[in-house]
């Protein structure tokens, strides 16, 4: 498995593709991240065409098991961020 691309590498590649400098590309990436974070934290969803959909889902209160002791404990309701991958991305990986 290849090493994941770092933010620095992503910004450099984005700058090359945009034909701009790294500072502008970094600002653009930070803005996109801030928009996605704000929207998902507010209970909305963001669709990235060709990549997938990022959304927040509420999980109900439930019983879980402590793996160390085997004891059953009640876990409060919480939220979890999910991502559904677009079919186009899945298909491009499996070509």
Q: Is 63 left (phi over 0), alpha (psi -120 to 50) or beta?
A: beta
What does the DSSP assignment read for 19-79? TS-HHHHHHHHHHHHHHHHHHHHTT-EEEETTTEEEEEEEE--EEEE-TTT--EEEE--EE
How far apart, in whole angstroms, are the C-alpha atoms of residue 73 and residue 94? 41
Q: Sorting pLDDT into bands at 50, 70 and 90, what band is 95? A: confident
Model confidence, pTM: 0.78
Q: Kindly report, as residue ranges, where domains of CATH 4.10.520.10 are found in the chain.
A: 45-95
pLDDT tens digits along 13-60: 999 999 999 999 999 999 999 999 999 999 899 999 999 999 999 999
Q: Residue written as tokens 């600002």? A: 27
Fold for the domain defined by 45-95:
HU Protein; Chain A (4.10.520)
């Amino acid at each position: 498995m290849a090493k994941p691309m770092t933010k620095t590498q992503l910004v450099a590649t984005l700058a090359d593709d945009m034909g701009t400098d790294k500072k502008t590309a970094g600002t653009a990436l930070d803005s996109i991240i801030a928009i996605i974070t704000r929207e998902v934290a507010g209970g909305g969803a963001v669709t990235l065409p060709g990549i997938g959909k990022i959304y927040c889902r509420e999980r109900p209160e439930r019983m879980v098991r402590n793996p160390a002791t085997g004891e059953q404990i009640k876990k409060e309701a919480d939220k979890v961020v999910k991502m559904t991958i677009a079919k186009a991305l899945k298909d491009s990986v499996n070509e």
